[in-house]
Amino acid sequence: MRGFLIFLAFACPVVLASPFFWSLVRMEWGAERIGYVHKTPSGQVTQWATLGPKAGWPGWAPIPEGAKLHVRANFEAAPGFSASGFGDISGKPPARLVTERYQNALKRAGWAVRVGRFDSSSPDIPPKPIHWCIVEARRGPRVLQMSVDIDDPQTVGRMHWTQGPMPFPTGARDEPCWPA
């Protein structure tokens, strides 16, 4: 035990002095600006991103009623790369109620709405079934996608936005998420 305490006495100041440690802290509880360098045929492009719950969320991207958004990332536009972002959503109302309200609100606001269902298995051992409802909305170059877990009694899922192309998830079928 004494050796462990001596190790901690030396390790704690080193960790607390590390800029990498504080970067991770800001990504989890604040906002950290990071540049991603992409190689392109004409050279390199840096796409700047803000990671963390205090990263921005565009005002044009509505959040579903009854769900709380926890922003994860906001990527700025760069030559050849669209602005985009994502976050986790959660809420006490059932996913079915939240998705129905969200679809109706988006349609009333003039968005073109598409609904799909994605069924698969997790990569866990043993595999677990995955059932997601996907609500996609498009208006001009802007795209929103909300994916929620159908099997969870509450709303649990993820939201994505972009101001550029975003494909409908591979393997998702254009069909209602729940039986009528």
CB atoms within 10 A of CB 85: 22
Pairing of strands 84-91, 32-40: unpaired
What does each of the 180 residues of the chain score in pLDDT, given as a tens digit?
Answer: 777 667 656 666 665 666 666 566 676 777 889 999 999 888 899 999 999 998 999 999 999 999 999 999 999 999 989 999 999 999 999 999 999 999 999 999 999 999 999 999 988 899 988 899 999 999 999 999 999 999 888 889 999 999 998 999 888 999 888 877
Task: State residue 179's pLDDT score.
Answer: 79
Q: Are 66 and 91 in contact (CB under 8 A)?
A: yes
Q: Are 75 and 85 in contact (CB under 8 A)?
A: yes
Element at 5 (helix H, strand E): helix 2-17
Task: State residue 61's pLDDT score.
Answer: 95
Task: State residue 16's pLDDT score.
Answer: 62
Q: Which residues contact 29 (CB under 8 A, 6 or more apart)?
A: 52, 53
Q: Tell me how many degrees the CA angle 143-149-150 measures, rounded to the nearest 5.
A: 110
pTM above 0.75, yes or no: yes
Cα–Cα distance measured from residue 54 to residue 3, given in angstroms and rounded to the nearest whole number: 40
Q: Are 84 and 161 in contact (CB under 8 A)?
A: yes
Task: State residue 29's pLDDT score.
Answer: 74
Task: State residue 40's pLDDT score.
Answer: 86
CB atoms within 10 A of CB 65: 13
User: What Rg value do the Cα atoms of the chain yield, rounded?
Assistant: 20
